[in-house]
Amino acid sequence: MRRTIDTFLPAVSQIQALELKFLAKRPWAVRLADLLVTHFGTARFFFLSLGVTLIWVILNIGWISGFVSFDPYPFILLTMVASVGAIFMTVVILISQNRQAAINTLRNELLLQLILITERELTRALRLLAKRGKGRPDPELTQMLKETNVSAIERILTKQLTNNGV
């Protein structure tokens, strides 16, 4: 088993190197967006935001005597700050998701190519085995020996996606 894993390590390393190369070429704005998304998407950020909001409300509802409210109820300033923050956070998240989608597209294309190459290699191997094999014909083997019709599969998938409203 160990020998098999070692066989795949160079290929895995190449794929990781490809992804690292892609990540290294990101523009500074995308790097910043990724960094911010990493921090926004944590429980720590959630509880920090919750704490700041609660403190803001407590300071402005008059529970602390002698403290002058800077944003009395209905907290218009808090609403504006939260809305502007949400707009910026949404844009940052979308930038990061677009980058991740591009990486996923590359991975999917690579996987598709590898699957098609593997399918062809397996078909060739089955043909060699069928030539060496003796005995009764095997209908399953006969079916496997046929080339995969990628165009037909594409048409079926397109039809299914169209029917599902995608």
Q: What is the pLDDT of residues 104-159, one digit of tens each?
A: 888 888 888 888 888 888 888 888 887 777 666 777 777 777 777 778 877 887 88
pLDDT at 166: 58
- Within 8 A by CB and 6+ apart from 163, the residues are none
What is the rounded distance in angstroms from the CA atom of residue 23 to the CA atom of residue 130? 46
pLDDT at 1: 46
How many of the other CB atoms lie within 10 Å of CB of 99? 19
Average pLDDT of the chain is 83
Whether 3 is in a domain gets the answer no
Domains: count for the chain = 1
pTM above 0.85, yes or no: no
Residue 54's domain comprises: 28-163
Return the percentage of the chain with pLDDT > 70, whole number: 89
- Which uninterrupted H or E stretch holds 30? helix 28-40
DSSP letter at 144? H
Q: In 3D, which of 24, 81, 92, 89 has the Cα closest to residue 56?
A: 81
